Amino acid sequence: MAEVKVPELAESITEGTIASWLKQKGDRVEQGENILELETDKVNVEVISEEAGVITELKAEEGDTVEVGQVIAIVDENGEGGGSSDSASEESKSDESKAEESKSDEGKSDKSEEKPAEDKKEEEPAKEKASESQDDDNERIVATPSARRMAREKGIDLSDINASDPRGLVRSQDVDNHSKQPAKEEAPKKEAPKAQSSGTPEKPVVREKLSRRRKTIAKRLLEVSQNTAMLTTFNEVDMTNLMELRKRKKEQFQERHDGTRLGFMSFFTKASVAALRKYPAVNAEIDGDDLILKQFFDIGVAVSTEEGLVVPVVRDAERKTFADIESDIATLAKKAQDKKLGLDDMSGGSFTITNGGVFGSLMSTPIINGTQAAILGMHTIQKRPVAVDDDKMENRPMMYIALSYDHRVIDGKEAVGFLKTIKDLVENPEDLLLEG
């Protein structure tokens, strides 16, 4: 027998939630074949079987939270695929027990002189009907086998239990916590219908459980806002020169670099690296009583997905060409949309860029990513009248940029200087060639 355990995920991740079993009990698996999908705080991870064989036991259900190193399945190397022998034996046993029960019922009907038995027969149908109706209700509730067993032993209706799991799965600890609650807490449930007695119809709503990732995003954003002295400063960039340069060179760039498109992100990434070198505190973080000044430039690029915002990282951006950066960003964005990002793709960033402009955002105050000290926000390009000199106005393509920063690490002077450096380099893109 071989045990399937939750693998080591990442230094900061100790547990995950079983999103779905790709294999079921009795299924045959090959060595290295995926058997389940595990949802973590950052990405979904597919867990493989280290041995070939037949799955004889699943030790956790979909929706269960499992820890690193926990045994979640058993694989029999000598087993054969198909139906489970255990389930077949259980079915045969149940058939035999039903046959024995029918025989005993016939024997009892012949012995009509035993009055106590007749009294019991009259009581049993009522109990069976009540228990059957309760079992039907309980079957509709998603719960682990141990939770169902404990609920039956304690005489608790599963529908009365508030599940702690975001998917609504009832576990044994939920049943235990419910049994410890005082009976008076059930009073509000009886008073609920009074709200409709006023004649005002109840408005339609849809209640959904937060996914594990959405809960993690909410938790971390709240932690950042509570544990940092976050402040945002703004500037605006005249995109005229950059847009003209891109227009002249984009076809030649694409042909020369195997179809890689020349976008704005590579310019802002290069400008950020130059500004981080000039203002190293922006590339730092606080660790207890220490300030960690990072000597590397791993730039996170925020990508929006259906499940929430993810921030894959462009490694060693200072060493890469414009084409390398554009290619990395395109690859990471595609992996994010296809849910193929790995933990290595998202860990260890030193600074983050987010572009709300792709959705039409004119101005925003981005929230710092994790333990980083700052984040740069790009916005939509909009033509506005700009004073070119004392006597002349022109319509120019302008972009607002924002820097949200931790004021405990970065002073206002440094934040303003950082944005001014970004502005100067983007407005004069040839200077970025000297920086890169």
Active site residues: 407, 411
The two structure tokens encoding residue 307:
């499940």
Instruction: Please state the length of the chain.
Output: 436
DSSP code, position 143: B
- Separation in Å, CA 300 to CA 209, 271, 353, 354: 29, 14, 6, 8
Do 380 and 357 meet the contact criterion of CB atoms below 8 Å apart? yes
Pairing of strands 230-238, 393-406: antiparallel
Q: Which three-class secondary structure state does DSSP give residue 233? A: strand
Q: Give dist(CA 19, CA 217) in Å, integer.
A: 18
Q: What is the C-alpha separation between 122 and 114, in angstroms, rounded?
A: 13
Q: Which two tokens stand for residue 51?
A: 């041995």
Residue 380, both tokens? 């939509």
152 CB-contact burial (10 Å; exposed 0-12 / middle 13-18 / buried 19+): middle
Element (H, E) at 181: none
Radius of gyration for the chain, computed over Cα atoms and rounded to the nearest angstrom: 31
Three-state DSSP state, 435: helix
- Token pair of 248 as six digits: 């002249």
Q: How far apart are CA 121 and CA 297, in angstroms?
A: 79
Q: How far apart are CA 403 and CA 351, in angstroms?
A: 11
Let me know how many helices (H) and strands (E) the chain has, helices first: 12, 19
Sheet order of strands, 65-67 included: 44-48, 34-39, 15-21, 65-67
Whether 433 and 270 have beta carbons less than 8 Å apart is answered as no
Give the Cα-Cα-Cα angle 364, 397, 369 (nearest 5 degrees).
Answer: 25
Cα 9 to Cα 69: distance, rounded to the nearest angstrom? 10
